[in-house]
Structure 1
């Protein structure tokens, strides 16, 4: 009876673990697929389509919200700014880092990213997961 009880305990505990993690098991390695955040309007049953839609919507957002600060434009200030941000487990943007020298350009790039709409967060193993991104901004006047 004790033996049967132990076997049942192990069976149910392993079954519970198997349900918590999903992915591929290969030679003692477990790999799980990370699913990108879902931008509003990009809902789909296929992860590849939602990921491609996320990238497209992000590029459209950055381009349509891009503004060159007037003072920087007038003074011909040109620089590449890189914003590192994450979509957190609540689907909101959090700025991690803004690389660059000119504060006015950094502030503008940060404003652009913070205007990203709230979305369904990324997922890993069926649970919400914060996912990090980097977006470069090239401020060039063409003068």
Structure 2
């Protein structure tokens, strides 16, 4: 019985330690946040409000549209746009420019090493 208990402890301990230790990127100002992911989302929303510039037509009307942006926070903490999908080219360009203004941050980690993190976010502008 003792041998069975000892083997069970090793198996359970091995399974627990085999799970990947993963952290999210840390947006500047979120270093001390209780929930880094929630703080990241809040800071991203604030960034969009403050940095998205609505494109205009030649008549001065604002162009609106929906976009889906895929970007990576690299293992160096930089935002890199992978793709922007939407029907309005000027909205796509404005959305890409806005994401490129994301500040450098502490990258996410995997097993204690810096690691790329991919995000895909829909926006209605």
TM-score by length of structure 1 reads: 0.69
CA distance in structure 2 between the partners assigned to 1:131 and 1:80 by the alignment: 23
Pair 1:128-2:114 in alignment: yes
Would the aligned equivalents of 1:35 and 1:51 in 2 still touch at CA under 8 Å?
no
Residue ranges of structure 2 left out of the alignment (5+ in a row): 1-12
The higher radius of gyration belongs to: 1
Q: For 1:49 and 1:96, how far apart are their aligned partners in 2?
A: 26
Write the distance in 1 (CA, Å) between the matches of 2:50 and 2:35.
22
**Contact (CA 8 Å) 1:80, 1:136: kept in 2 or not?**
yes
Residue number in structure 2 paired with 1:115: 101
Unaligned stretches of 5+ residues in structure 1: 1-23
Q: Is the 8 A contact 2:27 2:43 kept in 1?
A: yes
Structure 1 pair 62/26, CA: closer, same or farther in 2 (3 Å)? same
TM-score w.r.t. the length of structure 2 is: 0.78
Give 4+ residue runs of structure 1 displaced > 6 Å after superposition: none
The equivalent residue for 1:26 is: 15
CA shift, 1:25, in A, is 4.5
Q: In the alignment, which of 3, 14, 28 is matched to residue 40 of structure 1?
A: 28
In the alignment, the residues of structure 2 paired with residue 134 and residue 31 of structure 1 have an alpha-carbon distance, to the nearest angstrom, of 25
1:88 aligns with 2:74: yes
RMSD, aligned CA: 2.4
* Deviations, residues 18-66 of structure 1 (Å, cap 9, x unaligned): xxxxxx8439x9321321111111113x7x5222211111111112212
